[in-house]
Each structure stands twice: as structure tokens, then as C-alpha cells.
Amino acid sequence: MPFIATLYFRTAIILLIIGIGIGLHMSMVGDHAPMGAHAHLNLLGWVTGALFGTYYALNPGKASGRLPMLQYAVHMIGLVIMIPALYLMLKGNTSLEPFVAGGSMIVFAGVLLFGWIVFSGDSKAA
């Protein structure tokens, strides 16, 4: 399996564990205010990451080179900025909204890069 696919699968399961941890914490303390952060982490981290990994596993010709690694880095940097900021913003720290927006735009850039990879020719993406 291509390295990028393995990297995405491993990262996705770590993000799922964190997402479930957030969900369990919300349930135990009875505070569901950060539900949006929990949902975004599970969707953009676990689900999207696993789907990116699946695509790369099924398309090894597009899984090598610099562009897939750049796409991974951009997507993950965006998540690392967006999710904690969203969590804290939903807990009441509204001053973090610009970080949520910035992280969201970075995640979007990662998705656009992935779209470029998907729609590029059948040869290597980079």
C-alpha cells in the first residue's frame, strides 16, 4: 500500500479516537456546547481522512510524489488550527473565530488539492 494511504489511515484512526474522546467527555459532563467541533473532527478527520487514504490505496499512481504529501500536510495543518479553535469558540471564546475561519480555509485548500489530484491525468499527480 502506498505510504500516503497508510499515513492517512493511521492519522484518521487517531483523529477518530480523539473525536470519540470528545464525545464521551461531552456526555459525561453534560455539556454539549462543543458538539460542532466533535462533528467536524469526526467528519473531516476520520471520515475524510479514511476516504483520502482509500483513494490513494486504490490509485497508487497518484499516491507518489510531492503533491499528495503536500495535500496531506495542508489538510492536517488546517485541522490542527480549526478544531481546537472551534472547540474553544463553542465553549465561549468568540475571539477565536478568525482561527476557525483561517483553519477552515486551509482545510478547503487541502480538499482543492485533492480534487486536483483526482481530476489530473492517470499518471503521477506530481
Residue range 11-69, pLDDT digits in tens: 999 999 999 999 999 999 999 999 999 999 999 999 999 999 999 999 999 999 999 99
Residue 20 lies inside a defined structural domain of this protein: yes
Specify the pTM. 0.93
Residue 40 lies inside a defined structural domain of this protein: yes
Q: What pLDDT score was predicted for residue 125?
A: 46
Q: Are 120 and 64 in contact (CB under 8 A)?
A: no
Quick: pLDDT tens for 69-95: 999 999 999 999 999 999 999 999 999
The b-or-e profile of 17-54 (16+ CB within 10 A means b, else e) is: ebbeebbeebeeeeeeebeebbebbbebbbebbbebbe
Residue 111 lies inside a defined structural domain of this protein: yes
Helices 66-90 & 97-119, crossing angle to 10 degrees? 150
Residue 52 lies inside a defined structural domain of this protein: yes
Q: What pLDDT score was predicted for residue 123?
A: 56
Residue 97 lies inside a defined structural domain of this protein: yes
Q: What's the start-to-end Cα distance of the chain, in Å?
A: 18
Q: Are 125 and 68 in contact (CB under 8 A)?
A: yes
Q: By residue range, what is the domain housing residue 26?
A: 3-119
The domain tally of the chain equals: 1
Residue 89 lies inside a defined structural domain of this protein: yes
Residue 124 lies inside a defined structural domain of this protein: no
Q: What pLDDT score was predicted for residue 83?
A: 98
Q: What is the DSSP letter of 62?
A: G
Quick: pLDDT tens for 91-126: 999 999 999 999 999 999 999 999 999 999 765 545
